[in-house]
Every structure is written in structure tokens, then in C-alpha cells.
Amino acid sequence: MEHKSIPLNERIIFALDVDSKEEAKKWVDLLGNHINFYKVGLQLFLAEWFPVIEMITTRGHKVMVDLKFFDVPETVKLAIRQLKNRNITFATVHGNDPILRAAVEEKSGVKILSVTVLTSYGEEDMDEMGFSGTIEDLVFSRAKRALKLGCDGVISSGLEAPRLRDALGDSFLIVTPGIRPGKNIEIPEDDQKRIITAQDAIINGADYVVVGRPIRKAKDPVAVVKSMQNEIQKGLAL
């Protein structure tokens, strides 16, 4: 499989799921020589708003704003507009065609990633969601529509990535959460169901992996980062 030319220190997007700008800064200080891409999600965004994004970008790092915008199209459009001129690289949107279309129309330099199915969902959750097919079918359907509408890529488990690549090509981004250092590793209160290693995610077609708890909970976070980057290099070589 042909892989995109992406620097190794950007392949891991570190999830800054922390409570304050000060704690986020500590992690950026610790990992900044190894990781150049950071995710700011709801927890940190609501605590510190845009100052934390400025703190990251002024250091030359990239930011993924993972707010999973989901609202009436006009509201989503106006929300995406607020991200302009803030050096934000990725923003996530979750919703139907009109919502995705509104985000794409307003993106202006920010790459829009469509959320397919959260990695905390398993096949047993499909009935509760009102779907009769498999998660893979739903991910594929949502990804196909998102790309047709002009989204730059999708958020997808690495388990569904092979089908996306085989059927939809290589011209879009796949960003994969649910990354674990090993398939049998246990993380307290782990709510992820569709997990995969960084190496397997890259082999399956992912461009980036989003990693949070396996790094934050580690005794030696930098060692975990280096280990995962080694996995990614091996995956890229195959």
C-alpha cells in the first residue's frame, strides 16, 4: 500500500484530554520533541477555550479540534467559521449530509474530518442505534457520503480502514483513535471496544493515529511514544 508523505512526529496525534491549559502545557513540554500534533477535545476546550490552542500553535505544533460538531447546519457553519485564522489543522464534524455540507462550505483552510462510528461502539450497540447492518457497513456508507460532500477525511477505527482504502482510494485522510500498545493491554475504565495497535492501523491504511490514555497513564510516556513511532515505521515499511 502506498503511504502519504507525513513526518513521523505527526503520525501520532496526542489527545490532550486534561482539565487545564497548565496541564496541557506540561504534556506539550514533555512530548514536544517527539510529537508535533495534538488533539484538543471537549474537556480541554471548554476549560480553556482558544488560549490553549494558541499555546500549542505558537510553538509550531499542529492542532486537531475534536468537538464533533453536531447541530443544525447553520449553527455548524457558524461554529466552523470561528476556527478560521487560528492555525487549526483538523476539525471533526458528526452528522448527516446537510451538516457535513455546511462545514465543508465554511472550512477555509481547516480540514474537515467526518466522524463515522465512535470506537466505543461494538456490534452489540447497533440495535440500540437502530441499524440492522454491521459497523463496517455503516462506517463505509458514512465515509463514502462524507467524501462525496467534500470532507477531507474521516475518523474511523483501524478495523474498518482496509475496506475504506480498497473501495475509496488513497486521496483522503483516515485518522484512527482506539489505539492501544498491545491488543491485550488493560487500561482502567477503558471504554474503547474497537481497538488496534498503531502498527496495524497504519498497515490497514490509517494516516494518523490518535492516542491519549496509553501515553498519559504510562510510567514513561516518552518511551511509549517512541515505541509506537517504531511500530508506525514498521507499518509504513510494509
Please give the positions annotated as active site. Answer: 68
Residue found by looking up cell 466552523 in the block:
80
Q: Which helix (H) or strand (E) holds 13?
A: strand 12-15
Nearest CA among 206, 153, 152, 154 for reference residue 179: 206
| Distance between CA atoms of residues 206 and 224, nearest Å | 19
Nearest CA among 201, 102, 187, 188 for reference residue 155: 201
Strand partners, 111: 90
Angle, helices 97-105 vs 135-148, to 10°: value is 40
- Going by C-beta distance under 8 Å and a sequence separation of 6 or more, which residues neighbour residue 65? 40, 45, 53, 83, 88, 90, 91, 92, 110
DSSP secondary structure letters along 42-91: HHHHHHH-SHHHHHHHTTT-EEEEEEEE-S-HHHHHHHHHTTTTS---EE
Strand partners, 92: 113
Cα-based angle 94, 74, 176 (whole degrees, multiple of 5):
20
Q: Check: CB of residue 16 under 8 Å from CB of residue 38.
A: yes
